[in-house]
Chains A and B, each alone.
Chain A
Amino acid sequence: MMKYSYFPGCSLDATAVTYKRSISFVAEKIGMELNEIPDWNCCGATCAHSRGKWLALALPARNLALAEREGLGLDIAVPCASCYSRMKHTVHAARKDEADRKKIEEIIEMPYLAKSDVLSFLEIFALPEVMKACKEKMERSLASLNVACYYGCLTARPREITGGISTENPMEMDDIIALTGAKPIEWDFKTECCGASHQVDAPEAALPLIERIFRNAKANGATAIVTACPLCNLNLDMREEEINKKSGTAFDIPVYQFTQLLAVCMGATANEAGLHKHFYPAYDRINDTLRRAGA
Chain B
Amino acid sequence: MEKVLSKDENKALAPKIAEQSGVKLHECYQCGKCTAGCPMAHAMDIMPRQIVRYMQLGMLEEVLECKSIWLCAACGTCYDRCPHRVDLTALIEALRHEAKHHKICAVREVDIFTETFLGNIKVFGKSQEVILAGVYNTLSGNLLQNMNNVPHMLRHEMVKPEIHGVKDKEGVRRLMKAALEEDDK
Contacts and interface: CB of A to CB of B under 8 A. Distances in A.
Contact of B71 (A39, A154, A205): A205
Interface stretch (A113-121, A127-135, A191-199, A287-295): A191-199
A186 to B, nearest CB: 19
A153 B76 contact: yes
A201 B114 CA distance: 9
B113 A52 contact: no
Given A157-B80, A159-B80, A238-B149, A41 B126 contact: yes
B46 interface: no
What size tier do the contact residues of chain A reach? 35 or more
Interface string B81-125: 000000101000100110010000001011011100110110001
A266 B156 CA distance: 23
A52 B183 contact: yes
Majority DSSP secondary structure for residues of B touching A:
helix
A40 B165 CA distance: 9
A17 B183 contact: no
Nearest to B125: A41
B40 A206 contact: yes
B13 interface: no
Interface in A199-229: 200-206, 208-209
B129 A14 contact: yes
Given A59-B176, A277-B156, 5 more contacts: A48-B118, A62-B175, A153-B75, A193-B40, A200-B113
A51 B164 contact: no
A11 interface: yes
Contacts of B93: 49-50
Interface in B149-177: 149, 152-153, 156-160, 164, 166-168, 171-172, 174-176
A58 B178 contact: yes
A42 B120 CA distance: 10
Nearest to A13: B164
B119 to A, nearest CB: 10
Contacts of A39: 166-168
Interface in A135-173: 153-154, 157-159, 167
Interface of A: 10-11, 13-15, 17, 39-42, 44-55, 57-59, 62, 103, 106-109, 153-154, 157-159, 167, 191-193, 195-198, 200-206, 208-209, 238, 276-277, 279
A54 B118 contact: no
A55 B176 contact: yes
A159 B85 CA distance: 11
B87 to A, nearest CB: 8
Nearest to B38: A193
A45 B120 CA distance: 12
11 contacts: A10-B126, A41-B166, A44-B118, A49-B74, A50-B93, A52-B182, A107-B178, A153-B77, A193-B40, A197-B113, A279-B149
